[in-house]
Copies of this chain bind each other. A is one copy, B any other.
């Protein structure tokens, strides 16, 4: 149960229990995969572990701690302990489905007031309790994994009850929130006053402001509104050594940026309890341009030119040929796919591997119109072919829905994982081609690798990869690790960052130490020692 929305949450997958992805599209997509992997029929539906099957062990929390904190939001409920045992990565979900959770938290504290944190830290140190801060729990890099010294009880601190809008400064266009607020509630509160934050990650419905900040999140509209680190004017963090509130100013030259040291701190330095964010007027209008390019490289060049011309689209998204194909399979009926579409591609001279792109602009009308016109001109210059067939509506409808489809794939034994990076424009095609090439050798998995470009900057962009295959029964995690290792090594070797917006958590630790110099890691450790000398917060995460 989500304490905030009172809606039942899938412990075995994404989102709400009483919601599912569009059935027709699911059917079409599964059919496509069935054909791709040469299966005679759709594999039969697997059963995930039932609630009763989980053996949630007796809590290791000491009795006097339990007695004291029961009245302040502590729950020892097995269901809550299961729900807070993992995030929502492929690895997380597979382990839950297969009843392979390595460790359950010994309790979940639904923190009611940030005032309680100081006392909580004191008790945690006294009793040797490990603390895992928890926002929406939608992370996909093992950030909420219950690791830590085996002998120590693990307490997950759920921050979603800290969810108030504290103030809006309409002159400075900033809003101060408690950080546990979920995306929809935050937007509702702002929309009611005519504003938006403009931060819409795919996890939007199930992630929190504090979670976004702790992981350096990016939303789908980040190309206009910025990543979360650009949106935060200031934040408050409760560390075991005290509270730190950064200065509430638009910019400063007051030495190193403490704010940027705490954004992305993933619960290792403290719990983010409040943040003041820069807000924008609700856009008067939003305009989508959808198009096809003959090749991925042509599309990438076009988006680069748009960014380097000083234009400010809100969303850019360019699918490679494989993703485009999958997307068409998902979106179009069989009749369309077989008849009109191939002819249209031929007629438009888009070749055999057309790439679908979507570019949105939003804001006040003159700004949006100017952007759209200039963007359309650059698309034409780069020989993009516009398509007006309501692809934008399709995309909008699906923007937060696709993770539900993953559950359907898992139900039928398909492997599906995603990972992402960012790199300078000059490195993107190299990363992309190296990734495709590397997996050619792994014929056993015969993976479908789809990729899209999103989150563009003047100096580079993010690439987002989706890997789809057949699960190796009984070796699911091993299979995942192997694929993850190959893909992550390629990213680092070719000049990408190990994450543009998912974070480090537990899963990316190994590559963080390849991306940053050992001295960089030493700095992060020195700060950890200063703020959390007893190492009670998220031990073993990030570095």
Q: For the complex, is A264 an interface residue (Cβ under 8 Å from B)?
A: yes
B363 and A256 contacting across the interface, CB-CB below 8 Å: no
Q: Out of B218, B455, B459, which one reaches A173, CB within 8 Å? A: B459
- Chain B residues with CB under 8 Å of A495's CB are 248-249
Which residues 88-132 in A have Cβ within 8 Å of B in the complex? none
> Are A263 and B256 in contact, with the CB atoms below 8 A?
yes
Residues of B within 8 A of A423 (CB): 249-250
Across the interface, A517 reaches (CB within 8 A) one of B233, B243, B364, B529, namely B243
Checking B244, B245, B252, B264 against A497 with a beta-carbon cut-off of 8 angstroms, the contacting residue is B252
Rounded to whole angstroms, the CA-CA distance of A134 and B384 in the bound complex is 51
A residues 240-262 in Cβ contact with B at 8 Å: 241-262
Interface size on A, residues (CB 8 A): 95
Contact with B along A364-397 (1 / 0, CB 8 A): 1011001000100000000000000000000000
Among A258, A503, A504: residue with most chain B CB under 10 A: A258
Q: Which residues of B contact A233 (CB under 8 A)?
A: 424, 459
B520 touches A246 (CB 8 A): yes
B243 touches A169 (CB 8 A): no
Chain A positions 482 through 506: 1 when the CB is less than 8 Å from some CB of chain B, otherwise 0: 0000000000000111111111100
Determine the residue in chain B with the shortest Cβ distance to A542: B255
Q: Do B526 and A526 touch across chains, with their CB atoms under 8 A apart?
A: yes
Copies of this protein in the assembly total 2
Which of A50-58, A304-312, A341-349 faces chain B?
A304-312
In this assembly, does A77 line the interface, its C-beta being within 8 Å of a C-beta of chain B? no
A229 at interface, CB cutoff 8 A: yes
Known: A250-B459, A495-B248. A264 touches B258 (CB 8 A): no
Residues on B with C-beta less than 8 A from A242 are 517-519
Docked complex: A416-432 residues within 8 A CB-CB of B: 422-427
A465 to chain B, nearest CB (A): 15
Closest to A503 in B: B253
Known interface pairs A229-B257, A278-B458, A459-B233; A422-B252 also in contact (CB < 8 Å): yes
Contact of A424 among B171, B243, B262, B508 (CB under 8 A): B171
Contact B252–A499 (Cβ < 8 Å): yes
Contacts of A370 in B (CB 8 A): 366, 370
B424 and A252: CB pair below 8 A? no
A253 with B173: CB separation less than 8 A: no
Shortest beta-carbon distance from A145 to chain B in Å: 16
Question: Which among B251, B260, B425, B426 is the interface contact of A260 at CB below 8 angstroms?
Answer: B260
A-B contact pairs, 13 of them (CB 8 A): A172-B427, A227-B251, A229-B257, A242-B517, A245-B517, A249-B496, A249-B497, A251-B455, A253-B497, A253-B502, A256-B265, A257-B257, A257-B263
* Interface residue ranges, A against B (CB under 8 Å): 169, 171-174, 215-218, 227, 229, 233, 239, 241-266, 269, 278, 280-281, 304, 308-310, 312, 363-364, 366-367, 370, 374, 422-427, 455, 457-462, 495-504, 508, 512, 515-520, 522-524, 526-527, 529-531, 542-543
Going nearest first, the 10 A-B pairs with the smallest beta carbon separation are A260-B260, A250-B460, A172-B424, A216-B253, A252-B497, A526-B530, A250-B457, A257-B260, A171-B426, A249-B497
